Amino acid sequence: MEYRPASEHAWTKAPAENFTGDVWFGPLSQVEGALNALGVQFTPGARTDWHWHPDGQVLYVVSGAGLVQTAEGETVEISAGDVVYSPSGELHWHGARPDSPMMHLSLTTGGATVWEPRKVTDEEYGRR
């Protein structure tokens, strides 16, 4: 068994080249070739850039409220307890609503996130 108390959990600021606003990562499990589990905290209005995952992604919202949008324009508002599944190769972004922080768990397999070379515009972010 490996135990890590909350006081020892390291949060790292997410790189500005893939995020808008203040976002922090907290690795939970990174076993090469297996499950990558990551806690992600977003300040109000913060969001990812457009991206996709080789084997898809499961998001479990721990706290706050956020948004998820696909390249086709489907947008859902998410809050604590919600689960979102993005299938393999689905281009999308996610982040906090403008009036709320948000934390989710990101669960992926199959390799690293594939980042598109563009930010989510304010118009895209405001689309609901």
Does residue 55 form part of some domain?
yes
- Which residue in 20, 21, 23 sits closest to 39, CA to CA? 23
Total domain count for the chain? 1
pTM: 0.92
Query: Does 70 fall in a domain?
Result: yes
- In 1-99, where do the E strands start and end? 12-13, 19-20, 23-30, 36-42, 47-48, 51-52, 57-70, 75-79, 83-86, 92-96
Q: Is residue 125 part of a domain?
A: no
Measure CA 1 to chain center.
27
pLDDT for the residue 32: 66
- Identify the segments of the chain with pLDDT beneath 50: none
| Block residue for tokens 């972010």 | 125
9 belongs to a structural domain:
no
**Beta carbons within 10 angstroms of residue 77's beta carbon:** 11
Domain around 37 = 22-112
Could you tell me if residue 80 is inside a domain?
yes
Domain assignment present for 41:
yes
- CATH number for the domain including 74? 2.60.120.10
